Amino acid sequence: MAKKEYAHLVKPLLVQKGPAGLYAEPRVWMEGKDLEGFNANFSFGFVKKPGVCHPVEGAVIHPYDECLVFAGIDNTNILYLGGEVSVELGEEAEEHVFYEPSVVLIPKGMPHGPVTFRRVDRPIVHYSIGLAADYKAASVPRKSKAAKTTDSKYGHLIKRLITYIDWKEVDARKGAPPSADAPLDYSFIADRAGVMHPAERGVGPGNGDQIVWVFGKDLEGFEVNFTWG
């Protein structure tokens, strides 16, 4: 069989143990060395029961920005998480609890963790995107837990996992196309809840039934964009 020019760009997902103390079970774990030098590290797994991770004890600090993503597996409702998750952020160990698919933004140098899966009604997808080719972390002991607050220092780092669309701008256009210099516009395939339905709206073939897409502008300026669907 003839060698294909781009075969090196198709990679199998590697299921393996992550760094010691980060996750209790093996998961998909890949770094730049596994991805042709791609400038990111990535992990992916399913959480099937309550527990603690990232890290199992204490907190960690990375020298790069990181996204911790939490999503559900209900193929009829992408906005259903199926459980309750909490995460501690900053030196203050400020605790945040969420019940819907979310992205937790970790600026470089910020202590974070542990992540606690308090309730798991259905398996929860949890993946991480570190914005550097090599995974690096320093462990930090936690001195005390802070009580959960609603008006908080780090609340802006918890984002809903939806497609963010400026519906006021869309409505103001009254059906007219966006200007040539406007960012990509997905309002024609999205609903007001922030879910895109490309297959249903005739975008394809082979497109998703439900997709969300987040960009750096939605993620406090992080240099990343990704989809889930």
Per-residue pLDDT tens digits for 76-110: 999 999 999 999 999 999 999 999 999 999 999 99
Entry pTM: 0.92
Q: At which residue do the structure tokens 């992990």 appear?
A: 43
Q: What pLDDT score does 149 carry?
A: 52
Q: What pLDDT score does 83 carry?
A: 99
Preceding omega of 205 cis (within 30 degrees of 0): yes
State the pLDDT confidence band at 174, using cuts at 50, 70 and 90: confident
What's the mean per-residue pLDDT of the chain?
Answer: 93
* Percent of the chain residues topping a pLDDT of 70: 95
For residue 95, give Cα distances in angstroms to 149, 151, 215, 216: 7, 11, 25, 24
Whole-angstrom distance, CA of residue 192 vs CA of residue 10: 35
Whole-angstrom distance, CA of residue 93 vs CA of residue 113: 8
Which domains does the chain possess? Answer: 9-160 (2.60.120.10), 164-210 (no CATH)
